[in-house]
Amino acid sequence: MAQFFSEASRTFSEYLLLPNLTTKDCIPENVILRTPLVKFKVGHQLPSLEVNIPFASAIMQAVSDHNLAIALARQGGISFIYGSQSIEEQAAMVRTVKNHKAGFVVSDSNVKCDNTIADVVKLTEETGHSTIAVTEDGSPSGELFGLITDKDYRLSRVDLNAEVSEFMTPFPELIVGQKGITIEAANDLIWKHKINCLPIVDENRKLVHLVFRKDYDDHKKNPLESVDSQKRLIVGAGINTRDYKERVPALVAAGADIICVDSSEGYTEWQSDTIQFIKDKYGDAVKVGGGNVVHGDAFMYLVEAGADFIKVGIGGGAICITREQKGIGCGQATAVIEVARQRDQYLQETGVYVPICSDGGIFQDYHIGLALAMGADFVMMGRYFARFDESPSKLRKLGMNTVKEYWGEGTKRAANWQRYHEGGGPELLFEEGADAYVPYAGKMNDNLKTTLAKIRSLLCNCGAISLPEFRQKARFVLVSSASIREGGVHDIIPRTTQDG
């Protein structure tokens, strides 16, 4: 007969951490959030790939493109570029991240001379970029004809059908740098000529990069950048279990630091075959994560196939409806606890530590801390990052609110049937995700700073200044529905901005 588990599967909201003694060295400035991404033999080697903050962005069209990957790597995390696109397009995104140099930006807002001011306004609204390159063919690498900014025209007095060429600063009037210039020399030109943007061109006047004054300060503010041995930003990429034999070589050639098999449920022979193909072809040179799983048996299956990390979680994402549609999954807290228990047992038996990634089930910032205390080495988030300027989805007005579009990889909109295939044909018979909106939250850096401050403070409350110490010392208590209510605002009349 069927096997039944008497213990209920639980969510992060059902737990709280108990404080430990906070010693005088437990201050946020001393907290180190560095964490491994891939397996390693404890006491014999260091992890070959780490991040300085335990955050990864989800493998989703609405979340992880090259722009967010650059922004998150500069803050110390990592993005996994979504795989539900052509091999060529995904490889190009990976290549863009790897070719990015601190301060040197590939222009992704471009127009032609005969575009209209209306086109510029629309592009600015969609991207938030106020400086736009004018190139011969409207591409980021075309011959540079000029720059146009939001200071070059006044919407109240301009004909929106007027051409860009009438308002742009033409090339002869621009201060430019030549390809090969150092970031120090580029910044010197910016400060010397009191300009906000310095285009970098090659010998044929083709645009190579843009350097912005604001990025100088940003670079100084980002000492935790996630970089490889050549000081390039690190980036991951998602793959499916269908076209991996063609996709993986292209991503490796583009410079992807790590691959992750993207599946709503990873305890399958298709995923084992995919991971084994990568390991047979590349050995340890290419790192690959597997998942998603919710129990120890599935963890062991993928580890034995060769996975370098394991992703945990089925049906817990804000946009995921797998549990509703199929009745399969597990509360995220229980899933992390169970997989972490199996991971620790595997460590005792082999001496090999396999990182686990908690994917889904995070609705509040403090849930991140709970996931890390329960055994996750890093968390993967979609909704969290989809809210920011850096995500690829569009801004919309919804009534009086500003929102960003957000849709799951299990929707027909994503057209990502490969992620959900079970040996059948190329079609998505039912959806496992929703198409929705998330409240717009502005720039990622501002929000991430607050979230990280909460996590560092939580570690200090638990008497820890590193994630391994945090997991070792963590003490949990289950909370009742009444205590959850007690922990929030209650029995008051909240003050509003209208009260003065």
What are the tens digits of pLDDT across the range 427-477? 667 777 778 899 999 999 999 999 999 999 999 999 999 999 999 999 999
Cα 477 from Cα 465, distance rounded (Å): 21
Q: Which of 295, 286, 304 is nearest to 265 (CA)?
A: 295
What mean pLDDT is reported for the chain? Answer: 91
* Among candidate residues 386, 71, 441, the one with its CA nearest the CA of residue 222: 71
pLDDT band at residue 32 using 50, 70 and 90 as cut-offs = very high
> Three-state secondary structure along the chain?
CCCCCCCCCCCHHHEEECCCCCCCCCCHHHCECCEECCCEECCCCCCCCEECCCEEECCCCCCCCHHHHHHHHHHCCEEEECCCCCHHHHHHHHHHHHHCECCEECCCCEECCCCEHHHHHHHHHHHCCCEEEEECCCCCCCEEEEEEECCCCCCCCCCCCCEHHHCCEEHHHCCCEECCCCHHHHHHHHHHHCCCEEEEECCCCEEEEEEEHHHHHHHHCCCCCCECCCCCECCEEEECCCCHHHHHHHHHHHCCCEEEECCCCCCCHHHHHHHHHHHHHHHHHCEEEEEEECCHHHHHHHHHHCCCEEEECCCCCCCECHHHHHCCCCCHHHHHHHHHHHHHHHHHHHCEECCEEEECCCCCHHHHHHHHHHCCCEEEECHHHHCECCCCCCEEEECCEEEEEEECCCCCCCCCHHHHCCCCCCCCCCCCECEEEEECCECHHHHHHHHHHHHHHHHHHCCCCEHHHHHHHCCEEECCHHHHHHHCCCCCCCCCHHHC
Which residues 6+ apart lie within 8 Å of 163 measured at CB? Answer: 113, 114, 115, 116, 117
| Beta-strand relationship, 309-312 and 35-36 | unpaired
What is the structure's pLDDT at 488? 79
Closest CA to 161 of 110, 112, 114, 109: 114
Residue 485's pLDDT band (boundaries 50, 70, 90)?
confident
Distances (CA, A) of 325 to 19, 248, 321, 432, 437: 39, 31, 6, 7, 21
**Confidence bin at 189 (pLDDT 50/70/90):** very high
The answer on pLDDT for 107 being more than 70 is yes
Environment class of residue 447 by beta-carbon count within 10 Å: exposed (0-12), middle (13-18) or buried (19+)?
Answer: middle
Instruction: Name which of 127, 79, 84 is nearest 100 in CA terms.
Output: 79
Whether 207 shows a pLDDT value over 90: the answer reads: yes
Q: In terms of residues, how long is the chain?
A: 500
What is the pTM (predicted TM-score) of this model? 0.79
The whole-number pLDDT of residue 428 equals 62
Determine whether 419 is an active site residue: yes
- How much is the pLDDT for 339? 98
Check: CB of residue 248 under 8 Å from CB of residue 289. no
Question: Does position 4 have pLDDT exceeding 70, yes or no?
Answer: yes
223-268: per-residue pLDDT in tens? 899 988 877 899 999 999 999 999 999 999 999 999 999 998 999 9
Tell me the C-alpha distance between 357 and 339, whole Å.
10
What whole-number percentage of the chain has pLDDT above 90? 70
Contact residues for 401 (Cβ-Cβ < 8 A; gap 6+): 439, 440
pLDDT at 148: 95
Residue 429 tokens, joined: 């018979």
The residue whose two tokens read 């919309």 is: 396
CA distance 33 to 28: 11
- State which amino acid sits at residue 68: L
Q: Which of 232, 247, 387, 419 is catalytic?
A: 419
Marked catalytic residue, from 26, 197, 260, 320: 320
With contact defined as beta carbons under 8 Å apart, do 322 and 365 qualify? no
| Exposure of 32 in the CB half-sphere (CA atoms within 13 A) | 9
pLDDT at 426: 58
